[in-house]
């Protein structure tokens, strides 16, 4: 099921200098990074890299030219093809180690769904359920915390899922960076080359 209200605006995949995914940004941010020479566009078909001048000379057309509008962004005189992937010029670090625990991360990992009843939860109404309750020594970490709606969290109370007869949709695990980067984002076909699909529920 495609949950359209959770799919954010069109995003551009950001790779570090050695082409590992580290984030997504909106199209305008991506173009700004390229314009400031902090990143280059990776052509979705050829995987060639383009700086700003080359992208404009190769992938921009006059504003009155006939194009598939969805694929282009308009400036005063030009229509510039939207990038799908950019690669940073300097950053070569590899961040895919030990993603720190966060509430937001739990929300993303659990795809915005209550892990007991499956309902989609608004970020502002989200609660974190400790699978093993804190009062019984349960920790606040990736493997003991799940996203829950207020109703389920309230009715589970200070019990384990077994005691409350409430089954978890899945065992909570430490997510990979790719999972958190891509959760709730509309993926482009061209991203597949850069993403470890074993770690990600690919929505194409
Ligand atoms: Zn629920």
What is the CA(170)–ligand 1 centre distance, in A? 14
Q: Check residue 166 and give its pLDDT.
A: 97
Asked whether residue 169 is domain-assigned, the answer is no
Q: Are residues 17 and 77 in the same domain?
A: yes
Q: Are residues 72 and 36 in the same domain?
A: yes
Q: Are residues 91 and 184 in the same domain?
A: yes
- Look up the domain containing 117 and give its range: 103-164
Q: What is the CATH number of the domain that holds 118?
A: 1.10.30.50
Cβ–Cβ < 8 Å for 130, 123: no
Asked whether residue 1 is domain-assigned, the answer is no
Q: Are residues 61 and 36 in the same domain?
A: yes
Place of tokens 């590899």: 94
* Burial readout 6-35 (b: 16 or more C-beta within 10 A, e: otherwise): beeeebbbbbbeeebbbbbbebebbbebbe
Q: Are residues 85 and 17 in the same domain?
A: yes
Q: Check residue 23 and give its pLDDT.
A: 85
Q: Are residues 71 and 124 in the same domain?
A: no
What is the CA(156)–ligand 1 centre distance, in A? 10
- pTM, two decimals, is 0.67
Asked whether residue 192 is domain-assigned, the answer is yes
Q: Are residues 63 and 111 in the same domain?
A: no
Burial of 4 from C-beta contacts in 10 A (0-12 / 13-18 / 19+): exposed
* C-alpha closest to that of 96 among 201, 24, 175: 175
Q: Are residues 188 and 152 in the same domain?
A: no
Q: Are residues 39 and 76 in the same domain?
A: yes
Task: Provide the number of structural domains found in the chain.
Answer: 2
What is the CA(121)–ligand 1 centre distance, in A? 8
Tens place of pLDDT for every residue, the chain, 204 residues?
A: 334 444 446 899 999 888 888 888 999 899 999 999 999 999 988 999 999 999 999 999 998 889 888 889 888 889 999 999 999 998 766 655 567 899 988 998 898 999 999 999 999 999 999 999 999 999 999 999 999 999 999 999 999 999 999 999 999 988 877 777 787 788 888 888 888 765 555 443
What is the CA(117)–ligand 1 centre distance, in A? 4
Q: Are residues 112 and 147 in the same domain?
A: yes
Asked whether residue 171 is domain-assigned, the answer is no
Place of tokens 């499956």: 118
What is the CA(129)–ligand 1 centre distance, in A? 10
Asked whether residue 22 is domain-assigned, the answer is yes
Q: Are residues 12 and 90 in the same domain?
A: yes
What is the CA(148)–ligand 1 centre distance, in A? 5
Q: Check residue 169 and give its pLDDT.
A: 95
Q: Are residues 183 and 159 in the same domain?
A: no
């Amino acid at each position: 099921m495609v949950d359209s209200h959770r799919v954010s605006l069109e995003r551009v995949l950001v790779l570090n200098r050695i082409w590992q995914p580290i984030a997504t940004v909106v199209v305008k941010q991506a173009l700004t990074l390229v314009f400031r020479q902090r990143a280059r566009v990776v052509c979705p078909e050829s995987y060639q890299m383009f700086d700003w001048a080359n992208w404009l000379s190769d992938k921009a057309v006059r504003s009155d030219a006939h194009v598939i509008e969805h694929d282009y962004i308009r400036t005063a005189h030009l229509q510039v093809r939207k990038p799908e992937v950019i690669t940073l010029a300097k950053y070569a670090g590899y961040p895919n180690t030990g993603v720190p625990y966060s509430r937001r991360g739990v929300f993303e990992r659990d795809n915005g769904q209550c892990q007991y009843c499956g309902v989609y939860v608004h970020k502002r109404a989200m609660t974190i359920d400790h699978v093993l309750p804190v009062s019984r020594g349960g920790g606040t970490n990736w493997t003991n915390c799940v996203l829950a709606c207020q109703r389920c969290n309230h009715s589970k109370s200070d019990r384990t899922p077994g005691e409350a007869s409430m089954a978890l949709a899945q065992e909570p695990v430490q997510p990979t960076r790719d999972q958190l980067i891509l959760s709730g984002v509309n993926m482009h076909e061209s991203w597949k080359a850069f993403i470890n699909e074993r770690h990600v529920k690919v929505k194409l």
